[in-house]
Amino acid sequence: SVGGVVRAGLRWSEGMLELRPSIGLAAILAPYTLVGPEAGLMTLLRIAPPLAIVVQVAVDGWLFGSDLVPGTALVMVNGAGGVEVSL
């Protein structure tokens, strides 16, 4: 699949915790098309400079596209985890 997300977000920090909520427009363009809104939240727990543990959750609502049965929509939930290194 080929796709992407155009997204805007905020950053809120309190001590070792940082929250990054976001909204956007997601699209999958090949081999079929799906387009719809996305809402997400990334949480960072700073463990020691420059390292942070990262957990991200995003929910996509596919409302338009050639891969949908007419009159239907899809919801997709994605999650990821990792480590951020600030340079």
b/e 55-85 (16+ beta carbons within 10 angstroms → b): ebebebebeebeebeeeeeeeeeeeeeeeee
- Per-residue pLDDT band for 30 (boundaries 50, 70, 90) equals confident
Q: What is the pTM of this model?
A: 0.84
pLDDT at 1: 82
- Report the percentage of the chain scoring pLDDT > 90: 91
| pLDDT digit string, tens, across residues 43-74 | 999 999 899 999 999 999 999 999 999 999 99
| pLDDT digit string, tens, across residues 9-19 | 999 999 999 99
Residue with tokens 């427009």: 25
